[in-house]
Structure 1
Amino acid sequence: MNEQRLQAYYQLIQQLLSCPHGQEAAILQANRELLDVDFLQVVVEVAATFTQQGEENTANWLLGLASQLSEELDIAPNGNTPEPETPLNQANFDTYLQFLLEVLQATAESKGNPQVVYPLLKANTDKLNLTFGQLLQVWATKTLAEAEPDAKQFFAAVIGNFSNLIREFPLGNQADNIEIAITGYEIALTIFTRYTYQEQWATLQHNLGNAYRDRIRGDKADNLENAIAAYQQALEVRTRTDFPVDWAMTQNNLGNAYSDRIRGDKAENLENAIAAYQQALEVSTRTDFPVDWATTQNNLGNAYCDRIRGDKADNLENAIAAYQQALEERTRTDFPEQWAGTQNLSLIHISEPT
């Protein structure tokens, strides 16, 4: 099964565990497209985790659900679901759970301060893997199902902050770190919905877009489509009028995703990228946000160099102008790495044969 479907299974299980008694049948009916052999396997795995946590009632309810669905659908759970990297025997489970709780506590108490959380992650890079991500999903499903509304908001915010930290954590397996971050963002989005917490929802969508754009696992084309969809979702709330700075940031990142996009018409993708960068520059001005302005100018230069439509000579002139603008802020003295990057990109792109 792919990662998106697996997340949908977990979300359905969470919904079933947290709904008022008697609404389970309606929820299952509304999600019949998810009721298959893989869903039953995930239900059984989640039940096993609850058993390890001593939550026998919840585990038994889930096993009963799996049995009932197996009979109704005439299917049975099988052993084809990929195993996590580290089999969760009781000793492993206790170790991983303790680490998870320590990380979330450190994130909460420090308000997401990397100077506090990163040393803890550094000391436990061996546990930052798909097993950890699976445990985070199962723990959050149980915790959010049982929590009061205020506590749900608190836990979701902590998980969202942790996802930001793990996505940018420079050590360990970067592919696994991003997968954990995506899991965390999607968990938080089950609580921070567009209609209850608009601003938080939009921020999570923006961050989820960043994670999908950087994602290593999965199909690159699918990842970029997911990134674009998340950015577009964020922009439904992050409007220029209400949240101009956030709007400009998301426009810039949307431009990056369109520049890299694999699907669709390449020429149209580049036009969308250029439009997004130009939108961002209306707010990210040199006066108010010089660093962001220079970054977007650099990105705009890349897009004009690659542009298919329009006159090639004009496109190159626009690219040169954008690079030169960027270099006014990206000086060799203040930003040597960015200065060198822009210099190299301008030489590579503009010297390419036409």
Structure 2
Amino acid sequence: MGKGFGIKKQKHGEKDYKAYVDLLCKILKIISQHPNNLEKAVYPLLEGNLDKLNDYFAEVLRRWAKVKLSEDFKQAYNTADAILGFINLLKNFRQVDTASCIEISIAGNEVVLVFVRSPCFSKTIWANIQHNLGNCYMKRIQGEREENLEKAINCLKKELEIHTQNHHPQEWLKVKNDLGVAYSDRIQGKHSENIKQALHHFTEALQAFPHDSFPEHLGRLSHNLTFVLREEIFSKGNYLPEGTQQLICNFTEDLQEFIQKCEPEKWANIQRHLGDFYDANHQGDRAKNLEQAIYFYAKALQVFTQEKCPEGWATIQQHQGNSYLRRI
């Protein structure tokens, strides 16, 4: 690129730093004083300072908090609690730039993570922050996608050390789902091994509890499992890694029927993805795979009717028609 082109990063002086710190302190003070009505109390201040909710704010937060969290423990504890409250508020504040919001969240979580390593804190707080960081790095816009996914996987694996299946079942289901998604998107390593890891996390979680235990989590896991299957076979034309066929067989009918009762549209999408998977699958008995595809498309059409969802109905009809044409 020639000289004089490109975007220069804005330089900030000490005056800017003080202005940003002043805003940060105001936000944290309001959060500490109004714990029960945070959105109403904080959002007006954020709306009046949208120009400061940027990447430099993330730098200021990290620099300022490192000092404050190393001082008097009681005051540091209150500061850390307010920072986490602020980060949670940002998740639903749609007016701030998404990329900057993620950078602010990463900065806040990472600096508080160091503080909560103290034996004074519950390990679940540490695990919750690892979970938040994992999600931030999965969604991160800045930086290299490959590196961000590795950081996400590392954070989520650390979370699993605390959020175990027996002691924290719902958190365990969440992190297993997130690991499945992260491995399915992973760039480093062998693709087939990453997909095998993704399918392992999804299916292990789906088989861990009775199907009526955590319907929301199991529904999300089911949807993501079938989506990965569909993408690998139908969209990319890849064969599944050896040994994963049995994982699909363990995706049982009774689980699907349970999801159908709770969330029929999500269930119908699962049927559609399974139809796409079997239609494109050349592993095993091809004739049986095509019959399975036709069967799952027919089930999806029970929900995606011409009257209620004409576009979805037309797409599934077309896919089912192609399966009939290929029928052996």
TM-score of the superposed pair, with normalisation by structure 2: 0.69
- Could you say which residue in structure 2 is the equivalent of 1:181? 105
RMSD: 3.3
Partner of residue 159, structure 1:
83
Indicate conservation of the 8 Å contact 2:229/2:273, yes or no. Answer: no
User: CA, structure 1 residues 281+340, in 2 after alignment: closer, same or farther (shift >3 Å)?
Assistant: closer
Give the equivalent residue in structure 1 for 2:301: none
Given residue 107 of structure 2, which amino acid in structure 1 is its aligned partner?
A: T
1:171 aligns with 2:95: yes
What residue is the counterpart of 1:309 in the other structure? 241
SS in 2 for 1:101: helix
Aligned length: 266
Instruction: Describe the shift of the 1:135–1:247 C-alpha distance in structure 2 as closer, same or farther (beyond 3 A).
Output: same
Matched ranges for 1:107-122 at <5 A? 107-108=31-32, 109-110=34-35, 113-114=38-39, 116-122=41-47
1:199 to 2:132 alignment: no
SS in 2 for 1:164: helix
Structure-1 residue corresponding to 2:304 = none
Tell me, yes or no, if the aligned pair for 1:255 and 1:272 is still in contact at 8 Å: yes
Tell me if structure 1 keeps the 8 A contact 2:30–2:41: yes
Q: Give 1:126's match in structure 2, choosing from 35, 51, 71.
A: 51
Tell me whether 133-142 or 213-222 shows the greater mean CA deviation. Answer: 133-142
- Closer/same/farther in 2, CA of residues 177 and 265 from structure 1, 3 Å limit: same
Distance 1:255 1:285, change over 3 A: farther
Residues 278, 97 of structure 1: alpha-carbon distance in 2 compared, 3 angstrom cutoff: same
Following superposition, the deviation at residue 351 of structure 1 comes to: 5.3
In structure 2, list runs of 5 or more residues that go unmatched: 1-6, 233-238, 283-328
Give the equivalent residue in structure 1 for 2:262.
329
Q: CA deviation at 1:346?
A: 5.4
Deviations 1:18-76 (A, max 9, x none): xxxxxxxxxxxxxxxxxxxxxxxxxxxxxxxxxxxxxxxxxxxxxxxxxxxxxxxxxxx
Corresponding letter in the other structure for 2:97: N
2:196 match: 271
Q: 1:143 aligns with which of 68, 71, 74?
A: 68
Give yes or no for contact 2:229–2:277 (8 Å, CA) kept in 1. Answer: no
Task: Mark the CA change 1:171 to 1:142 in structure 2 (over 3 Å): closer, same or farther.
Answer: same
Distance between the aligned counterparts of 2:209 and 2:52, measured in 1? 40
Residue in structure 1 matched with residue 145 of structure 2 by the alignment: 220
1:100 and 2:32 equivalent? Answer: no
* 1:218 CA displacement: 0.7
Q: Is the CA contact (8 Å cut-off) linking 2:156 and 2:179 kept in structure 1?
A: yes
**1:190 aligned to 2:114?**
yes
Q: Is the 8 A contact 1:240 1:247 kept in 2?
A: yes
Q: More displaced, 110-119 or 92-101?
A: 110-119
Q: Does the CA contact (< 8 Å) of 1:286 and 1:293 recur in 2?
A: yes
Gaps of 5+ in 1: 1-81, 333-337
Give the aligned residue type for 1:158. Answer: A
Question: Which residue is 2:165 aligned to?
Answer: 240
CA distance in 2, matches of 1:132, 1:270: 37
- Cα distance change on mapping 1:181 and 1:310 into 2, 3 Å: same
1:328 deviation in Å?
4.1
**Preserved CA contact (<8 Å) 2:203 2:251:** no
Q: Which residue of 1 aligns with 2:308?
A: none
Distance 2:250 2:43 in 1: 42
Aligned in 2, Cα 1:127/1:339: closer, same or farther, shift over 3 Å?
farther
TM-score (norm 1): 0.64
Moved more, 211-220 or 285-294: 285-294
Return the alpha-carbon distance in structure 1 between the equivalents of residues 226 and 280 of structure 2.
Answer: 14
